[in-house]
Structure 1
């Protein structure tokens, strides 16, 4: 069955908006699922202050890599923009009938851990990344696995 991307050109929030910059189809050979990629902007602006993506579906890779990835430019950190962007993605997850998502980060990434806590995600455990995983090859040996119930 072919995946259908839905219309999420702009997702508006109170302080920030998400502007769709691209969609990426899944790749069965690489075990990748389809994804939406957004710029994070201050409301009514088009200047990116960061980015966020959401991967749609479930597979073993997402346990370690997570469904959501985000980054906020250094000058804009400390305002909970990453967490607010995650909360805006609830609309995308809901539209694709996803009730829970994994959000992962490195154990020493305190800002990402606080983002997960801010959105109400629960830390399931800290796990070793398997040696055959791409993240392990890049030097990421452990991951915090958070579960976010987004319904």
Structure 2
């Protein structure tokens, strides 16, 4: 089910797999890969990202891709560069599109989506039953990248 990920690198960063998670039908979770984003020049961890394989109700609101860049490394487009590497892995899984979501107020994340070629499809209401709603998020921007 899970593929080799050692090829997920470019001149600046590479993705180091640190865990995978199998599908959990009861919770509505699809299989997922979890990575540290590492700078090639000095092997410094600059953030983390994940790819959730497939589509369901959770990925509609929470997306297929998540990312976080540590505060002191922001402003270098590491998140969008990591997303582009994750697109390669999504293609291996025969996904024809990935969804990236973020809070409408999160301008940095919205710019990341634009930098990696994602198209804003809609700003949608988060359903009351969804975990994001329980965490206080009422709307989410839904971006799509066609692979």
Q: TM-score, normalised by structure 1?
A: 0.94
Segment drifting more, 76-85 vs 10-19: 10-19
Are positions 1:25 and 2:15 aligned together? no
The match for 2:51 among 54, 63, 76 is: 54
How many equivalent residue pairs?
147
State the partner residue of 2:60: 63
Determine helix, strand or coil for the equivalent of 1:135: helix
Deviation at 1:11, TM superposition (A): 1.7
TM-superposed CA distance for 1:115, in Å, is: 0.5
- Looking at structure 2, the residues matched to 85 and 13 of structure 1 have their Cα atoms a distance apart, in angstroms, of 9
Equivalent residue number for residue 12 of structure 2? 15
Q: In the alignment, is the contact (CA less than 8 A) between 2:67 and 2:79 conserved in 1? A: yes
Query: Given the alignment, which residue of 94, 99, 116 partners 1:97?
Result: 94
What RMSD, in angstroms, separates the aligned Cα atoms of the two structures? 1.1
Q: Structure 1: 5+ residue runs without aligned partners?
A: none
Q: Does the 8 Å CA contact 1:10/1:19 hold for their aligned counterparts?
A: no
Check conservation: 1:10, 1:20, Cα contact below 8 A: no
Give the whole-Å Cα distance in 2 for the aligned partners of 1:57 and 1:45: 34
Distance in 2, Cα, partners of 1:45 & 1:133: 40
Check conservation: 1:17, 1:44, Cα contact below 8 A.
no
What are the superposed Cα offsets for residues 70-99 of structure 1, whole Å, 9 maximum, x if unpaired? 000111000100000000112111100001
Which residues of structure 2 form unaligned runs of 5+? none
